[in-house]
Structure 1
């Protein structure tokens, strides 16, 4: 093959790697358009369709020989029509169609690798970004747009078998502005004292089906959550994606975010996560608490650094005011009860005091 031919083959391979994968193919005509528009080939290339087709056929016959190859790869070629034999198909496809590049990594495998970087708190942000960009370059350009729908707060996570399937369905629903239905599972212990997942039941003892309006996927505290609205209510809900069962896209437009209480002005994800540290639903409220300074690092780990107001500092203690989900703060305050005192609102203070009294009663032997 002469030098010009080798360059054309390399350019064809580069286009196939960037623009195609197992789910996204291109035709010979689209390939020529890209060569002309992005690689500055002369428009006479349209008259040399046979040359492009010959190179494509060469790649299909000798794909193990091209210079960019380090491990075997397969170019997905033309599909046969039902009832056509191979010779008829070759004659039919004077212009070849339906070509894609078989990348080394499947997209779900790349997502797993990227998630491992996103959830690693020890990798600096700049290095993490560079590594993720390198991983994204191992597949087609179509992968980045789907990844943008998942956000992270950089905490470790364990995956379950159907998680990727659930995420793909939820991403599709959000892209198409559709609702989603699913069943939701809880852990229970059966009659043999074995742990199992069972779907939540309705009042009739049947598996309960949830119909929700999905808005955002978030990875936090080692788990994926869906931020959504549960029909027919008007507040924000959160669901663990790994506990969703039978996720299905419903052919019905989702409720606009502006009609959901708390999302009228859109979703500020960083603020939302900081206010919902345990991903409980419900409204956020302004809470004041006083704690020992040696707890400050743990407090920042949970609540971040934005919108915190400190006051009344002494050598050992400090007061902070933060906007947070009240149920989440109630749980967090119990976790750090030896070091933290919630001072307002009064209703939350009384709830925590009642929790502590009940906890003490369990230890009265």
Structure 2
């Protein structure tokens, strides 16, 4: 009896034609009937007549086929050949692959598997072009050692959809007896939280949540979680989270994902640094209230702890004016830095 996926099995002819078009055709290099038939014979050991091939290609050019499979076979000029217009363009696939590579929360093996799945959506020429630099770029990337990240994301997603709490062990980075970096539990007790959203910020995946009986929102890095578990108890609604949570606004105000209060901040900064303010806080998330000489007066909302570190990174180019508590805190930090670095 002939096996369903054995070479030469014509019952798979439609899939085999799509495989040839997917791997070898492109808008710049379409395949003629003869080229497709030759590759079917060499790659899949099947013979195919022109009329049979034409019938399959006609089916692959319908809107119904595109709606179901997300791709379509096209012919830009009669007699010049056919190509498969993939669901993702080369540029879109490149963007998705680079995005996976930039997520530092993922362990290297998981990142490689995801990239491999994305590569299969591209043509053979795209795969050959992309594999070489992807393999080189993957080496030495600061990926997470936590092998539970994807499983944790799945559990958290289910818990959010089911309106259930999640519990987990939260870890810190520590040195083991061999002076190797390892994840070490921060506490023997499991954290129990009300999960609301998974957020990506600066290459790290965070869980936005609340801990009973507190009323504030907290963030935890998912790559520092282990033994994540969905609990049977229901979550507490946090002040209408769908209205309160705005992804761009939340991430800009919670710079570096610190969990302290969001406050109104006012500071003077050199005009040459305006591009840096835009890069960090985005268009429309701050106001320029005044200008004196080469300095601009900026007003915005931001996490207090994060703002203190951000301001220190700009040193003499910035002056916090409000609130006074933050101004004093930065002065104290600057004095501590001076004491440690004075000669």
- Equivalent residue for 2:197, pick from 207, 216, 227: 216
C-alpha contact 2:5 2:12 (8 A) present in aligned 1: no
Counterpart among 149, 157, 171 of residue 163 in structure 1: 149
Does the Cα contact within 8 Å between 1:236 and 1:282 map onto a contact in 2?
Answer: no
1:132-176 Cα deviation digits (max 9, x unpaired): xxx6996xxxxxxxxxxxxxxxxx984553221111111111111
Unaligned runs of 5+ in 1: 1-56, 74-100, 102-109, 121-134, 139-155, 202-206
1:145-156 aligned at under 5 Å gives the runs none
Quick one: distance in 2 between partners of 1:215 and 1:236?
9
User: Partner of 1:243 in structure 2?
Assistant: 224
Query: Could you say which residue in structure 2 is the equivalent of 1:348?
Result: 326
Q: Residue 186 in 1 paired to residue 168 in 2?
A: no
Q: Deviations over 1:5-47 (max 9, x none)?
A: xxxxxxxxxxxxxxxxxxxxxxxxxxxxxxxxxxxxxxxxxxx
Seen in structure 2, the aligned counterparts of structure 1 residues 188 and 137 have a Cα distance that, compared at 3 Å, is closer
8 Å CA contact 1:158–1:222 kept in 2: the answer is no
TM-score, normalised via structure 1 length: 0.57
Separation (CA, whole Å) in 2 of partners of 1:264 and 1:171: 16
Match of 2:214 in 1: 233
CA shift for structure 1 position 270? 1.1
Q: 2:296 aligns with which of 318, 324, 329?
A: 318
Instruction: Give, in whole Å, the separation in 2 of the partners of 1:318 and 1:252.
Output: 50
Contact 2:93 2:119 in 1 (8 A): no
Tell me by how many angstroms 1:305 deviates: 1.6
The 8 Å contact of residues 157 and 222 in structure 1, kept in 2 or not, is answered as no
Q: Map 1:74-223 to 2 at 5 A.
A: 114=96, 116-117=98-99, 158=143, 161-201=147-187, 207-223=188-204
Q: Which residue of 2 aligns with 1:295?
A: 273
Could you tell me how far 1:118 is from its partner in structure 2? 7.5
185-194 vs 217-226, which deviates more?
185-194
Deviation digits for residues 151-208 of structure 1 (CA, Å, limit 9, x no counterpart): xxxxx9845532211111111111111111001111123454432220102xxxxx23
Q: Across the two proteins, how many residue pairs are aligned to each other? A: 237
CA distance in 2, matches of 1:193, 1:308: 45
1:220 Cα deviation from its structure 2 partner: 1.1
Specify whether residues 226 and 185 from structure 1 end up closer, same or farther in structure 2 by C-alpha distance, changes over 3 A only: same
Q: Deviations over 1:61-102 (max 9, x none)?
A: 8464353344899xxxxxxxxxxxxxxxxxxxxxxxxxxx9x
| Distance of 1:212 and 1:269 partners within structure 2 | 20
2-structure distance, mates of 1:331, 1:118: 28
Corresponding position of 2:239: 258
Contact 2:263 2:302 in 1 (8 A): yes
What secondary structure does 2:168 align onto?
Answer: strand
Q: State the match for 1:286 in structure 2.
A: 264
Contact kept in structure 2, 1:170 and 1:214, CA below 8 Å? yes
Find the aligned partners of 1:235 and 1:111 in 2 and give their Cα distance. Answer: 38
Q: Distance in 1 between matches of 2:101 and 2:238?
A: 28
**Structure 2: segments with no counterpart, 5+ residues:** 24-42, 45-68, 70-91, 103-117, 122-140
Distance 1:116 1:208, change over 3 A: farther
In the alignment, the residues of structure 1 paired with residue 176 and residue 3 of structure 2 have an alpha-carbon distance, to the nearest angstrom, of 61
- CA 178–335 in structure 1, closer or farther in 2 if over 3 Å, else same: same
| Cross-structure match for 1:359 | 337
Deviations 1:219-245 (A, max 9, x none): 111111111112332210001111111
RMSD over aligned Cα atoms: 3.5
TM-score (normalised: structure 2)? 0.61
CA distance in 2 between counterparts of 1:218 and 1:309 reads 26
Given that residues 157 and 221 in structure 1 are in contact (C-alpha distance below 8 angstroms), is that contact kept between their aligned partners in structure 2?
no
Distance 1:249 1:198, change over 3 A: same
Q: Distance in 2 between matches of 1:225 and 1:111?
A: 24
What residue in structure 1 maps to residue 59 of structure 2?
none
Displacement of 1:254 in angstroms is 1.1
